[in-house]
Homo-oligomer: A and B are copies of this chain.
Amino acid sequence: MASKVVTACMIIIGNEILSGRTQDVNLNYLAKALNELGVRLMESRIVPDVESVIVNTVNECRANFDHVFTTGGIGPTHDDITAVCIAKAFDTEIVLHPEIVKMIESREAPPEVMASRMLMARVPEGSRLIENKTGGPPGFQIENVFVMAGVPAVMQAMVDSLDKERLEGGDPVRSRSIGAYLGESQVANALADIQNQHADVDIGSYPFFRQDGYGTNMVIRGTDEKELDEIKEKIRLMILSFGADPFEE
């Protein structure tokens, strides 16, 4: 029997992604980690550093998904407004977390710099911390919302600290891939038949164009490894029936 599906939404906060200055790589990292933790990333929103947009997006998403993960906007400058927005979304107070305060105070700095750093100790009241092994301030979790840094190395350290217990994850999501030098139009009908036979598995088809020809990669995703192998074998036979050579990458 399939276990309960635990769902997630990711909110990427930052003008730098929407302006094209920065290529986001955090979604891909989180997506892969969630597969292992048995959580399905169902949607993502990329939003600017605008309070009303962040507050509304967080409130919409936390109502619609089991978990919400945010990245970005937890530094000490004027464009770092995530912690305040999350507190507003939950209609709760923003407080200085004693553990983060202690961490920040342990590194000497002039009073003005210390005051700016202390902005990173702000969390909505009742938050639980998300460990940050890179040595900087931690992220935080309030109810089903996990608030993480935007800098990839820091974000990745925070994701790595999360475990299945904390996320109440289900069975890990596994995948199988198989490709062939056959156009998508050639495999379309046969592939649709196979998909129809396996409703709880997700079969995707992705065309590729290379110097030596064009073809299609097919990806099967689900939690039942036996079923995935069975489907992969069906696709392998389908490819052979068209006179092509199946390959794996």
Let me know if A31 and B20 touch, CB within 8 A: yes
- B41 adjacent to A188 (CB under 8 Å): no
Interface stretch, picked from A22-30, A87-95, A124-132, A225-233, is A22-30
Q: Secondary structure of the A side of the interface?
A: mixed
Count this chain's copies in the assembly.
2
A165 contacts the other chain (Cβ, under 8 Å)?
A: no
Asked if B46 contacts A79 (CB within 8 A), the reply is: no
| A41-B19 in contact (CB<8A) | yes
Cα of A25 to Cα of B25 in the assembled complex, Å: 10
Interface flag for A102 (CB, 8 Å): no
Further contacts, 11 of them, CB under 8 A, given A18-B42, A78-B188: A16-B206, A17-B44, A19-B175, A20-B41, A23-B28, A76-B184, A77-B188, A78-B192, A79-B195, A79-B203, A116-B186
* A interface, CB within 8 angstroms of B: 14-25, 27-32, 34-35, 41-49, 53, 75-79, 109, 112-114, 116-117, 119, 151, 153, 173, 175, 183-189, 191-192, 195, 202-207, 209, 219, 221
Interchain residue pairs A-B with the least CB separation, the first 6: A20-B31, A116-B185, A20-B32, A78-B192, A44-B46, A116-B188
